[in-house]
Chain A
Amino acid sequence: MNPVDGVAARFESVGYRIGDRTVLDGLDVSIARGRVTALMGPSGTGKTTVLRLLTGQLQPTQGRVLVAGEDLAQLDRRGLYALRRRMGMLFQNGALLTDLDVYENVAFPLREHTDLPEPVVARLVAMKLEAVGLRGAARLMPSELSGGMARRVALARAVVMDPEILIYDEPFAGLDPIALGMVLKLIRDLNHALGITSIVVSHDVHVIGQLADRAVLLSGGRVVADGTPAELASNPDPVVRQFMAGAADGPVHFHYPAGPLASEMLGEAP
């Protein structure tokens, strides 16, 4: 396990509202440096909003978000971009640039941000592709890759600039067990070998149990549980228990709010 030597990012009483709807309500979370922190929670509970706040794509309506000690709301575009060069993000579907091949996708950040000579770019790209096991696929186009391969290429691209923080948005969604195992191993290896702070958004209780040092469970826009995966598994809170056990009904309802079924079936006005 990596040593914890500080806080990589912190949410301080962060609230986020869209119109009248409260998405996040007084969120307080700190992300430890060099650790794998999982953000879990039922769909629609604001996990993606948390990621967007963390990357400065959204601004909180209340409270502040600090990354590497800097308040994101105080940064202009230039400052935000300088900070983002120290971060990497793996999108759910990979988000590879479809008009570039695998090699050029991984080389993209290098070409945009550095003036490295081509032989150096080629070596760096080959190293990163080797790490994800796809050096042989360098000249394939994104349309020729499977979902798991696309995500591994995206991971190689996300680490090519050697980021300090890596953010994974649902990295396991829709993967077969073999591809899932590969992505899981890669995230763990990257964290251990490079000491990258990793933030993983996922629903997958089982996988998070194997991967995360710490899990934060969100529900209804606030933190309902925070601890090691083992601590969450033994948490007595009904919402936590429902989520960890995958129960269809509980404090989080199966049914979206609706009027009485009988009156609708009998044709009465809703």
Chain B
Amino acid sequence: MSGHAVSSVLAQFGRFTLFFGRLCAGVPSVLRRPRLLVEQVHMTGALSLVIIMLSGLFVGMVLGLQGYDLLRRFGSTESLGTAAALGLLRELGPVITALLFAGRAGTAITSEIGLMLATDQLAAMDMMAVDPVRRICVPRFVGGVVSMPLLAAIFAVIGIYGAQLVGVELMRIDAGQFWSQMRGAVEWRDIVEGVVKSLAFGVACSAIAVYEGYHAVPTAEGVGRATTRTVVTSSVAVLAIDYMLTAVLL
């Protein structure tokens, strides 16, 4: 990589860090205006529910099939509940929710802010002495951070139901075994791991989406590119953070 490319990546990272600092500094102001936050939790969270629930159901059902096939080879199909619950709570729930969030809510945030920039709405706000970072970016950022663990929890619950559908209803595993093994094996720290991960993903995905929108080139093409970058950067960031957190939390 040439020196120019390295310095441009570093400059980008520096800009992101400064912007992230401004976002964090604005958090108290949005907590004083809960209505703005509730609106954004609705936009990013509630409106992502259908895609999260559908995906959770199918991922859980696939997990049921694959898990059943794997466990059958070791003669322990009754552990399917435990396997599905641990996989969903600690790994698949937070990660897949974050990837879907980047595609559904992240792109919506980036393109909305990018278009507001392109149509002078942010400049108009700035001229009315209203800081657009505080008024527009911070509520979307905090809304994303709040929504992510809730969505991940819903994803995991529906996923476990999907695994149960396949394991108990289709493959005829004993329902008592399925649930009691799960309850015996899943510990609090497994749930904490999932919550910590989804909070971290919420911070990363929301900050990236807001940053890309706010720094988009204010043209149709520029907003399109920024939206693409949101998905790409968020996805890579989620997977990288996932590895790091798993290494630390295991």
Contacts and interface: CB of A to CB of B under 8 A. Distances in A.
Q: Do A and B come from one complex?
A: yes
Given A82-B129, A91-B120, 16 more contacts: A55-B127, A81-B129, A84-B128, A84-B129, A89-B124, A89-B127, A95-B123, A96-B124, A97-B121, A98-B116, A98-B119, A112-B129, A112-B130, A112-B135, A157-B128, A161-B128
A54 to B, nearest CB: 11
Contacts of B120: 91-93, 95
Contact of A95 (B121, B129, B135): B121
SS of A interface (majority)? mixed
Interface string A76-101: 01000110110111011101111000
7 contacts: A84-B126, A89-B127, A92-B120, A93-B119, A96-B124, A97-B124, A97-B125
A55 B128 CA distance: 11
Contacts of B128: 84, 108-109, 112, 157, 161
Nearest to B124: A95
Interface of B: 116, 119-121, 123-131, 135
Contact of A85 (B119, B123, B129): B129
B121 A98 contact: yes
A57 B123 contact: yes
A89 B129 CA distance: 11
A113 interface: yes
SS of B interface (majority)? helix
Interface of A: 55, 57, 77, 81-82, 84-85, 87-89, 91-93, 95-98, 108-109, 112-113, 154, 157, 161
B130 A57 contact: no
Contacts of A157: 128
Contacts of B127: 55, 57, 84, 87-89
Contacts of A98: 116, 119, 121
Q: Which 10 A-B pairs have the closest CB atoms?
A: A95-B124, A95-B120, A81-B129, A84-B129, A89-B127, A91-B120, A85-B129, A112-B130, A109-B128, A95-B121
B34 to A, nearest CB: 15
B89 to A, nearest CB: 36
A91 B135 contact: no
B124 A113 contact: no
Contacts of B126: 57, 84
Contact of B129 (A57, A93, A97, A113): A113
A57 B135 CA distance: 18
A92 B127 CA distance: 14
Contacts of B131: 77, 81
Find the residue from A85, A95, A96 having the highest chain B CB count within 10 A.
A95
Nearest to A154: B124
B111 to A, nearest CB: 13
A84 B127 CA distance: 6
A83 to B, nearest CB: 8
